[in-house]
Amino acid sequence: MLDELKKGLRAQADPAKARILRGFFKTGPGEYGEGDIFLGLAVPKIRALSKRYGCLDISDAEKLLSSPIHEERLCALLILVQKFEKGAGPEKREIYRRYLKNTVYINSWDLVDLTADRIVGAFLKDRDKSVLYKLAGSKNIWDRRIAILATFHFIKNGLSAQTFAVAGILLNDEHDLIHKAVGWMLREVGKRIDIDTEERFLKSRYKKMPRTMLRYAIERFPETKRRAYLKGEI
């Protein structure tokens, strides 16, 4: 079945789109996606195949996740999300364990953003969350992005404390992709929970935040207030 899935993905390869994706995901020397290989498939096509092969066993999905091909890794992760959401407790735990074991392959922002909250966040909702702080302190940018994106699950359930805790650790991060992710999650707190809750976090920290992080966080604020934050007048 694994070979069939790979054939299904490769049969839809689009070299022209692959060239575009290589540029979009920064695969050049020294860039964050250096050396990543693309077939040129749009996400809806990958989703369709992940649903068709959703019965792939966890071990085969893990094998697929180690592929050098971006779309194969994404397909593997989408299958694991499906299996996690349908699975019982022991299966959820095993998928969570294997996800964290293989973060070296979850090495692009789309791979993280489509899965971290649905596996890591969902598993940790009623459990000890110290693993998020460990991930947030990692030297690996994708571990750090997993840490903050996992908290999206909590935000969707009306909880902001873990987002603020992880954001605090990442406040001085040097990477633009972390600035964007933290700002995005802070914005989601304001959007889905309460803007006053977001502001309580921002007011004592916004002057120290990377500019991109702040811009993302205040994107939905009224224009007058947004400008005041950008000018340091709050």
Taking CB atoms within 8 Å and a gap of at least 24, the contacts of 164-170 are: 164/189, 164/201, 165/132, 165/133, 166/132, 166/133, 166/136, 167/201, 168/205, 169/133, 169/136, 169/137, 170/136, 170/144
Residue type, 45: K
| Overall pTM surpassing 0.85 (yes/no) | yes
- Domain boundaries 129-234, CATH class: mainly alpha
d(CA 126, CA 142): 24
CA atoms within 13 A on the CB side of 130: 1
pLDDT tens digits, the chain, 234 residues: what are they?
Answer: 999 999 999 999 999 999 999 999 999 999 999 999 999 999 999 999 999 999 999 999 999 999 999 999 999 999 999 999 999 999 999 999 999 999 999 999 999 999 999 999 999 999 999 999 999 999 999 999 999 999 999 999 999 999 999 999 999 999 999 999 999 999 999 999 999 999 999 999 999 999 999 999 999 999 999 999 999 998
Which segments of the chain belong to CATH 1.25.10.90?
1-114, 129-234
CATH number of 1-114: 1.25.10.90
CA angle 98, 27, 9 (to 5 degrees): 60
Q: Is residue 46 within 8 Å of residue 75, measured between CB atoms?
A: yes
